[in-house]
Amino acid sequence: MLDIQIGHHWISHIGPLEVNMDTVITAWLAMGVLLALAIFITRHLNRIPGKVQTVAELTLEFIEGLSVGQMGKEGYKHISLIGSLFLFILVANLMGQLPWRLLPLPGEFASPTNDLNVTLGLALLVSVYYIGAGLIKKKLAYFKHYFQPFWFIAPMNVLEDFTRPMALSLRLFINILAGEVLVLVIGGLVPVFAAVPLMLFELFIAFIQAFVFAILAASYVSGAVADEH
């Protein structure tokens, strides 16, 4: 039999709360990597960009295109949210492919995004942000869109605000978790080499999932701040 365990976290207690220490540590590590990269890249900025600066500028242009492509001119205001989400999720997803199991660590060190708590936190952040952005842009007129196109659709529109964070968080969480379980299963069946193509595919999935999360967040914000015709 394969000896596979899912969701056995290294739990420690802070007061009455349970904390998944492995998730917290890897999440902070992902943030640390991003912060270190940002400081390293912006330390010696040049008018004629070097290699590192070119890559950074291309990344920024990609994020800008993602945000502005969804929202138009409005998109420049929300680049910080979309870009932070994209970069954090990308780094967090890629961290799952590091050889954590070679180290004698307790719990399940992998991507922080294979924990529902992290992805649900990110998704709730997005839903608070888009409702807040809509309220700031349109004041109380924001609530009018619940009654579009007919007044009796209102319950469905309210329900949508709840299903959006659920779908957003479950999509990311399950994609990453399923990828890791798949690599574990194939690695358990054929111990040598068979899992390598799958791991390469997981790198692709990591990028796609970060892209989808960012673009859906952008389209939700765009729907909340869009002008009505």
Partner 1 sequence: MDPKSAAIIASGLAVGLAAIGPGIGMGNAVAAAIEGIVRQPESVSKVRTFMFIGLAFMEVLALYALFVVLIFLVKFIF
Footprint of partner 1 (CB under 8 A): 4-7, 65, 69-70, 167, 170-171, 174-175, 177-178, 208, 211-212, 215-216, 219
Rounded Cα–Cα distance for residues 197 and 215 (Å):
27
- Assign 18 to helix, strand or coil: strand
Supply the minimum distance, in Å, between the C-beta of residue 46 and partner 1: 29
Give the Cβ contact number of residue 185 at 10 Å.
14
CB of 191 to partner 1, least distance (A): 21
Residue 66 amino acid letter:
L
Least spacing, CB of residue 212 vs partner 1, in Å: 5
- The nearer residue to partner 1, 7 or 50, going by C-beta atoms, is 7
Compare residues 164 and 195 and give the one whose CB is closer to partner 1: 164
- Judged by CB, which is closer to partner 1: 88, or 220? 220
- Minimum distance between the CB of residue 138 and partner 1, rounded to whole angstroms? 24
Burial 62-86 (b: 16+ CB within 10 A, else e): ebeebbbebbeebbeebbebbbbbb
For the bound state, the minimum distance from the C-beta of residue 184 to partner 1, rounded and expressed in Å, comes to 13
Distance CA 195, CA 190 (A): 8
Q: Which is nearer to partner 1, 91 or 218 (CB)?
A: 218
Shortest spacing between CB 167 and partner 1, in angstroms = 5
Nearer to partner 1, 37 or 160 (CB): 160
d(CA 7, CA 114): 9
Q: How far is CA 229 from the centre of its chain?
A: 32
Quick one: which of 36, 108, 99, 62 has its CA closest to 215?
62
122: exposed, middle or buried (C-beta count within 10 Å: 0-12, 13-18, 19+)?
A: buried
The residue (of 28 and 62) whose beta carbon lies closer to partner 1 is 62
